């Protein structure tokens, strides 16, 4: 069976689904496990990949349901691409398993490829092909012909706005357009599962926005996994985020549940002129059920305090009201949610998590 990488002719083989089966044919339906369409579109069970001494993916267990867009995050070399390549059937797992719509990626690779659209990392396309010829080729491999093939190509060309470059050879396209051609081929068969490895990498801001909107529009009827280094993208399009570091899953949850791990999540931040700090501190102590200490020190003559919102009866409006009523000048007042970047750093910095080459 051909796997990912380059074949002797130098063609990138993450793309075509030309599969030469050498092993005895397996009755794919017979290997299909019963699966819950709503909750188990993708099921990874202790999925592991070793390259010699390196464990690139280390016992990752995870489920993705229909309607979910899972943001797959992690430092360089964490194992995102390797995991995605295993789900898409381009790397065989060393141990553990991955299933797509109940089909095991090793035992029923053709059934899996039928249901999956895969956007590989980078843009390993057939550079000397014209864009339209490539899409026709990709659609033919998917088994479409005649009017059906035309209709499918027209649909994806419109979705990713490729009309103006159809007659150009792929190698002459800019990075962003190459990426869009790759995305178009992943969508041709309108698959139930989308595995998108850094889909917005190299796109200009307008195209980033466009692709994010597209992912959101497709989300209700599919299970989608998106790897990204752009953490704002997670809050913009993902319903959930999983963080992987050195091959191991270190967090999995909604953006809110990840932010809740931060010590300053949902803290009210109050900034008052330094001269009024003692008065503000005394007042805040009467309102808060916890000890109030000055937080940010003195920056530009402003003293800041940080108090968990749960510790104050009435929350932020109560703080505003009482400070105002006692004549304290409010320089700033806001609810701190924290940033996913901080969660990411906390979970991936240090000996166990940092980037690998």
Ligand X SMILES: Nc1ncnc2c1ncn2[C@@H]1O[C@H](COP(=O)(O)OP(=O)(O)OP(=O)(O)O)[C@@H](O)[C@H]1O
Residues of the shown chain interacting with ligand X in the complex, contacts defined by CB under 6 A: 51, 54, 56, 74, 76-82, 121, 356-357
Q: Which of residues 120-139 bind Mg ion (CB under 5 A)?
A: 121
Give CA–CA dist 89/177, Å, rounded. 25
Q: Considering beta carbons, is residue 81 or 304 the nearer one to ligand X?
A: 81
Q: What is the CA radius of gyration of the chain?
A: 25
E runs forming strands in the chain: 42-51, 54-64, 69-73, 95-100, 103-104, 116-119, 193-197, 223-227, 240-245, 248-253, 267-273, 294-299, 302-308, 332-336
Interface characters, 178-217, with Mg ion (x: CB under 5 A): ----------------------------------------
Stretch that binds Mg ion, among 17-25, 52-60, 81-89, 304-312 (CB under 5 A): 81-89
- Which residue is nearest to Mg ion, using beta carbons? 81
Angle CA 135–136–140, to nearest 5: 115
Evaluate whether 196 touches 119 at the Cβ level (below 8 Å).
yes
Enumerate the H helices of 200-249 as residue ranges. 205-218, 231-237
306 SS3 class: strand
**Residue 81 interacts with Mg ion (CB under 5 A)?**
yes
Q: Considering beta carbons, is residue 168 or 248 the nearer one to ligand X?
A: 248
Least distance from Mg ion to the Cβ atom of residue 82, Å: 8
Q: Which does 140 bind (CB under 5 to 8 A by kind): ligand X, Mg ion, none?
A: none
Q: Considering beta carbons, is residue 57 or 219 the nearer one to ligand X?
A: 57
Evaluate whether 213 touches 319 at the Cβ level (below 8 Å).
no
Residues listed for the chain = 357
Least distance from ligand X to the Cβ atom of residue 295, Å: 34
Q: Residue-wise over 67-86: b if at least 16 C-beta within 10 A, else e?
A: ebbbbbbbbebbbbbbbbbb
User: Residue 87, Cβ neighbours under 10 Å: how many?
Assistant: 24
Q: Which does 45 bind (CB under 5 to 8 A by kind): ligand X, Mg ion, none?
A: none
Q: Considering beta carbons, is residue 73 or 215 the nearer one to ligand X?
A: 73
Stretch that binds Mg ion, among 63-71, 117-125, 248-256, 320-328 (CB under 5 A): 117-125
Q: Considering beta carbons, is residue 77 or 253 the nearer one to Mg ion?
A: 77
**Residue 228 interacts with Mg ion (CB under 5 A)?**
no
Least distance from Mg ion to the Cβ atom of residue 8, Å: 25
Give CA–CA dist 283/269, Å, rounded. 14
Q: Considering beta carbons, is residue 76 or 206 the nearer one to ligand X?
A: 76
Least distance from Mg ion to the Cβ atom of residue 84, Å: 8
Q: Which does 335 bind (CB under 5 to 8 A by kind): Mg ion, ligand X, none?
A: none
Q: Considering beta carbons, is residue 121 or 336 the nearer one to Mg ion?
A: 121
Q: Which does 322 bind (CB under 5 to 8 A by kind): ligand X, Mg ion, none?
A: none
Give CA–CA dist 351/349, Å, rounded. 7
Tell me which residues touch Mg ion (CB under 5 A).
80-81, 121
């Amino acid at each position: 069976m051909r796997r990912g990488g380059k074949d002797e002719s130098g063609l990138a083989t993450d793309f075509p689904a030309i599969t030469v089966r050498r092993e005895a044919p397996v009755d794919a339906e017979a290997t299909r496990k019963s699966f819950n369409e709503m909750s188990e579109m993708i099921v990874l069970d202790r999925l592991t990949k070793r390259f010699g001494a390196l464990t690139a993916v280390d016992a990752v267990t995870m489920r993705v349901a229909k309607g979910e867009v899972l943001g797959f995050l992690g430092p360089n070399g964490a194992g995102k691409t390797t995991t995605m390549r295993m789900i898409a059937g381009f790397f065989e797992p060393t141990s553990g398993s991955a299933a797509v719509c109940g089909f095991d990626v090793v035992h029923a690779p053709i059934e899996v490829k039928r249901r999956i659209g895969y956007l590989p990392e980078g843009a390993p396309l057939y550079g000397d092909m014209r864009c339209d010829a490539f899409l026709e080729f990709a659609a033919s491999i998917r088994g479409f012909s005649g009017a059906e093939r035309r209709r499918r190509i027209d649909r994806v060309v419109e979705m990713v706005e490729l009309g103006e470059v159809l007659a150009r050879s792929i190698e002459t396209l800019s990075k962003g357009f190459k990426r869009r051609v790759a995305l178009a081929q992943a969508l041709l068969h309108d698959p139930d599962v989308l595995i998108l490895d850094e889909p917005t990498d190299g796109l200009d801001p307008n195209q980033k926005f466009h692709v994010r909107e597209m992912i959101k529009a497709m989300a209700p009827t599919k299970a989608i996994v998106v790897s990204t280094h752009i953490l704002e993208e997670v809050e913009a399009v993902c319903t959930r985020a999983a963080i992987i570091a050195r091959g191991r899953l270190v967090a999995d949850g909604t953006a809110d549940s990840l932010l809740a791990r931060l010590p300053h999540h949902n803290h009210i931040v109050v900034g008052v002129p330094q001269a009024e700090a003692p008065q503000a501190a005394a007042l805040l102590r009467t309102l808060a059920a916890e000890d109030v200490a000055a937080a940010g020190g003195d920056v530009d003559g402003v003293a800041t305090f940080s108090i968990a919102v749960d510790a104050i009866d009435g929350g932020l409006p109560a703080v505003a009201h009482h400070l105002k009523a006692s004549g304290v000048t409010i320089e700033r007042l806001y609810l701190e949610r924290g940033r996913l970047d901080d969660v990411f750093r906390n979970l991936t910095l240090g000996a166990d998590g940092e980037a690998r080459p």
